[in-house]
């Protein structure tokens, strides 16, 4: 715009300059013409001529020329103006695009600056951390799978060009450089593997963990190691069968051992890890299905056999190797066929033959070991609670104490009636012996029975609802009021059940007593604890004949103590149960017992009152029926209303139950016909000489002579049905 404005001013200035010069030239010629032209002299008669060269036409010609020049100049200026506008629009679009780019760049820089500040703040917070805590900061997962620092390092390696599958090995190498080693399994003495399976959208998944105690750190003398749990992986499985889970576990162990052996860490530490080492350290397995025991035993044979193969030569070793070589040649067909095999197949058959020889030698070496050494090599517990329970149960026999009573079910208890644990001889029948063998005793059986009572797997059975409502008051809000689910497969559910019973023993006893009072017969079922006796906890040789120990109400929950009190029977009846417990009952339980008794008496009184009311109502109805006067006149029956006919039917049904009730008749005519028939039958049976007309004096005397149970004797006070206009029910009395 400045250029256009400047050009216009220059053109305008040139125009004014040219115009002024031309006007001056025309003015001079006009001044000189009169002096040179003789026609302009005074006295001359001629007039000046108009023409192109005349003094009058010269200024107008100049002005037309100047106007054309100005128009041309104006067009040029307008063209330049349009071009300038186009250039200005293009420059404006470029500026806007650059402005948007700068805005986006500014936003990006702001985010980068914010991230940089946050990173700087994180670095500042972590500066106080020493290098000895490097592994803690790298592998402290928190609630995430990996820590933020670990993820940042892994991303940095990937962005720098490191292969994704090699990031883990590189980080392990860097961590090992700073003195932190994470080859945990190779340095521990024992490990425990846990597996669990589930299904989602008809796809089976298996999760595997390993628990161990990390070895002591060489950098710190105070570090004694810690118990850790490491994830082996969550993978999709084919099914939940034990064989398939075992194969998946083998594949998982082989893959991890192969990965560890290929790491630089294993070469620097000069350690090697194999599946044999893993099974040798494996001391326990928790899972839905476990077949790991045979796997460990097979690997034990293989490891012992490999030790024998690497040891000094013997005739037995040479003979075993020769036999294995001959078997391999026989399987191949001949020596020529063996030589034609590929290197891969040849190596596979050689390894299989070597493993076969190692297993054979290892089995012989294992059989030559003592029982303690064999137990050490094959030690693996699939269920820790089971082993502890077996060991504690063996303590009864080892200590010379009589074990807890046999907790047989209802059928087996009837079979074993009158037979004690000390009477197990050859004289028992096959049914009695089998009933004794299948029946359980002790803590596990007790917790199973308690689980069936307080948390039955069938919602229609058990006391689970009463249990929850009862223990909400005792435990308070926020505490679990569900009994441990011992009916289903739950790890440590029996331990939790035993803990629950021991902690709240008195409350469970009170709950069973209250439940008993709510029953119709006020007694305990067979499986409820108070119906069973308990054997004493004292040596058998110190037992006095006929001495029954003091016991608690429950069955085998706690071991009772001995007393010198003697009873005539071996079992504790319900009559002797409460007097024995009364001196030891707490005040709270005694008050609850009194409340239950008061409630029972209240219910009995209410039942008596209801029965008396029912009898009074029945007597009143009977009196009402008896008070109704029979109408024996056919003409009178025609004028009776519906309610009056119903009363007549009630009276006749009271005398003859075979007559149908009033609700069995469709209309008034059918009911009237039934009443007439009932009247006819009544007259026929009662007074054969009576006629179906107005009652005679003899009939009236007969009705007055009936007893109070048949009709009302006060016939003078009762109003007869008459032809009065009132049809209300009050006329019936």
Residue 53 has pLDDT above 70, yes or no: no
User: pLDDT by residue (tens digit) across 709-731?
Assistant: 443 333 333 333 333 333 333 33
Supply the pLDDT for residue 580.
44
Residue 654 lies in a domain: yes
Q: Counting Cβ atoms within 10 Å, is residue 695 exposed (0-12), middle (13-18) or buried (19+)?
A: buried
- Residue whose C-alpha is closest to residue 295's, from 254, 339, 265: 254
Question: Phi/psi at 212 (nearest 5 deg)?
Answer: -160, 170
Domain boundary among 128, 153, 185: 128
566: DSSP letter: B
Supply the pLDDT for residue 126.
65
514 and 643 housed in the same domain: no
Q: Tell me the whole-structure pTM to 2 decimals.
A: 0.37
577 and 684 housed in the same domain: no
Residue 60 lies in a domain: yes
Q: Are 183 and 265 in contact (CB under 8 A)?
A: yes
Residues 453 and 728: their CA atoms lie apart, in Å, by 62
The H or E element containing residue 472 is: helix 464-475
658 and 532 housed in the same domain: no
Residues 495 and 486: their CA atoms lie apart, in Å, by 10
Residue 220 lies in a domain: no
Residue 339 lies in a domain: no
Residue 400 lies in a domain: no
580 and 648 housed in the same domain: no
469 and 548 housed in the same domain: yes
- Residue whose C-alpha is closest to residue 463's, from 512, 400, 391: 512
573 and 687 housed in the same domain: no
649 and 548 housed in the same domain: no
Residue 352 lies in a domain: no
231: β partners: 209
User: pLDDT by residue (tens digit) across 611-648?
Assistant: 999 888 888 777 766 666 667 666 677 767 777 777 77
581 and 704 housed in the same domain: no
User: pLDDT by residue (tens digit) across 557-571?
Assistant: 333 334 334 333 344
5 and 100 housed in the same domain: yes
Domain boundary among 128, 150, 171: 128
Supply the pLDDT for residue 188.
75
Domain boundary among 128, 161, 191: 128
451 and 561 housed in the same domain: yes
User: pLDDT by residue (tens digit) across 390-415?
Assistant: 777 778 778 777 777 777 777 777 77
559 and 487 housed in the same domain: yes
- Let me know the angle formed at the C-alpha of 527 by 525 and 530, rounded to the nearest 5 degrees: 75
Residues 304 and 629: their CA atoms lie apart, in Å, by 112
Supply the pLDDT for residue 631.
72
Supply the pLDDT for residue 66.
79
716: DSSP letter: T
- Residue whose C-alpha is closest to residue 214's, from 236, 243, 182: 182
For the chain, the residue count is 733
User: pLDDT by residue (tens digit) across 328-347?
Assistant: 777 777 777 777 777 787 77
pLDDT confidence bin for 690, thresholds 50/70/90: very low
User: pLDDT by residue (tens digit) across 461-515?
Assistant: 888 888 888 888 888 877 888 888 887 766 578 888 888 888 888 888 888 888 8
The number of CA neighbours under 13 Å toward the Cβ of 601 is: 6
pLDDT confidence bin for 217, thresholds 50/70/90: low
User: pLDDT by residue (tens digit) across 428-467?
Assistant: 777 777 777 777 777 888 888 888 888 888 888 888 888 8
Q: Tell me what the pLDDT averaged over the chain comes to.
A: 69
Supply the pLDDT for residue 223.
55
Query: Which one is predicted more confidently, 241 or 142?
Result: 241
Q: What is the total count of domains within the chain?
A: 3
> Whole domain around residue 124: which residue ranges?
1-26+56-128
Residue 420 lies in a domain: no
What are the distances in angstroms from CA 629 to CA 78, 360, 626, 632, 709?
Answer: 132, 111, 8, 9, 13
Residue 211 has pLDDT above 70, yes or no: yes
> Residue 357 corresponds to which tokens in the numbers above?
């020889």
Residue 178 lies in a domain: no
Report, as an integer, the average pLDDT of 259-272. 74
568 and 648 housed in the same domain: no
Task: Give the range among 160-169, 179-188, 487-496, 561-570 with minimum mean pLDDT.
Answer: 561-570
Supply the pLDDT for residue 430.
76
Q: Are 642 and 655 in contact (CB under 8 A)?
A: no
């Amino acid at each position: 715009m400045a250029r256009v404005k400047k050009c216009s001013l220059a053109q305008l200035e040139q125009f004014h300059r040219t115009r002024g010069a031309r006007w001056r030239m025309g003015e001079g010629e006009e001044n000189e013409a009169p002096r040179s032209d003789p026609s302009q002299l005074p006295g001359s008669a001629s007039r000046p001529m108009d023409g192109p060269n005349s003094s009058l036409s010269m200024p107008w010609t100049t002005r037309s020329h100047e106007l054309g020049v100005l128009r041309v100049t104006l067009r040029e200026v307008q063209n330049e103006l349009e071009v300038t506008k186009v250039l200005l629009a293009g420059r404006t679009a470029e500026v806007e695009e650059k402005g948007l780019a700068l805005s986006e760049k500014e936003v990006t820089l702001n985010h980068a600056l914010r991230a940089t500040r946050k990173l700087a703040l994180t670095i500042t917070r972590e500066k106080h951390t020493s290098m000895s805590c490097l592994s803690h900061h790298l592998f402290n997962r928190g609630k995430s799978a990996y820590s933020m620092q670990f993820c940042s390092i892994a991303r940095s390696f990937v962005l720098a060009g490191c292969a994704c599958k090699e990031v883990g090995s590189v980080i392990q190498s860097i961590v090992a450089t700073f003195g932190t080693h994470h080859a945990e399994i190779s340095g521990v003495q024992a490990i425990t593997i846990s597996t669990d399976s589930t299904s989602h959208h008809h796809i089976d998944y298996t999760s595997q963990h390993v628990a161990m105690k990390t070895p002591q750190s060489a950098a710190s003398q105070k570090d004694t190691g810690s118990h850790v749990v490491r994830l082996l992986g969550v993978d999709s499985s084919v099914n939940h069968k034990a064989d398939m889970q075992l194969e998946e576990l083998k594949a998982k162990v082989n893959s991890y051992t192969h990965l560890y052996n290929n790491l630089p860490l294993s070469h620097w530490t000069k350690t090697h890890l194999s599946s044999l080492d893993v099974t040798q350290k494996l001391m326990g397995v928790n899972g839905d299905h476990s077949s790991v025991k045979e796997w460990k035993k097979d690997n034990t044979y293989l490891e012992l056999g490999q030790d024998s193969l690497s040891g000094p030569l013997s005739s037995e070793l040479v003979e075993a190797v020769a036999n294995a070589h001959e078997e391999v040649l026989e399987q191949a067909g001949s020596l020529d066929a063996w030589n034609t095999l590929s290197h891969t197949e040849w190596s596979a058959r050689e390894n299989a033959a070597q493993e076969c020889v190692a297993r054979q030698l290892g089995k012989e070496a294992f059989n030559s070991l003592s029982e303690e050494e064999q137990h050490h090599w094959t030690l693996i517990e699939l269920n820790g609670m089971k082993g502890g329970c077996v060991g504690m149960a063996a303590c009864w026999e080892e200590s010379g104490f009589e074990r807890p009573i046999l907790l047989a079910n209802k059928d087996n208890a009837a079979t074993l009636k009158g037979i004690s644990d000390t009477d197990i001889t050859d004289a028992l029948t096959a049914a009695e012996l089998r009933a004794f063998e299948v029946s359980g005793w002790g803590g596990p059986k007790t917790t199973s029975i308690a689980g069936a009572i307080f948390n039955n797997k069938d919602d229609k059975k058990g006391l689970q609802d009463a249990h929850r409502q009862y223990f909400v008051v005792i435990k308070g809000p926020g505490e679990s009021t569900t009994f441990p689910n011992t009916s289903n497969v739950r790890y440590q559910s029996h331990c939790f059940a035993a803990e629950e019973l021991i902690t709240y023993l008195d409350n469970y006893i009170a709950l069973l007593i209250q439940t008993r009072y709510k029953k119709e017969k006020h007694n305990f079922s067979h499986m409820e604890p108070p119906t069973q006796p308990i054997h004493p906890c004292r040596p058998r040789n110190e037992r006095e004949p006929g001495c029954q120990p003091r016991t608690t109400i429950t069955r085998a929950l706690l071991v009772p103590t001995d007393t010198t009190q003697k009873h005539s029977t071996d079992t504790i009846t319900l009559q002797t149960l409460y007097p024995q417990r009364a001196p030891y009952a707490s005040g709270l339980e005694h008050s609850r017992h009194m409340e239950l008794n008061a409630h029972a008496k209240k219910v009995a009184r209410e039942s008596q009152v209801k029965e008396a009311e029912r009898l009074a109502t029945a007597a009143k109805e009977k009196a009402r029926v008896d008070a109704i006067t029979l109408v024996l006149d056919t003409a009178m029956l025609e004028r009776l209303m519906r309610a009056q006919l119903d009363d007549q039917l009630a009276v006749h049904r009271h005398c003859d139950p075979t007559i149908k009730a009033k609700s069995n008749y469709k209309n008034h005519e059918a009911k009237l016909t039934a009443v007439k028939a009932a009247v006819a039958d009544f007259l026929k049976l009662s007074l054969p000489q009576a006629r179906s007309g107005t009652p005679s004096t003899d009939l009236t005397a007969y009705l007055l002579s009936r007893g109070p149970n048949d009709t009302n004797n006060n016939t003078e006070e009762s109003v007869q049905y008459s032809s009065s206009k009132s049809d209300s029910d009050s006329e019936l009395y």
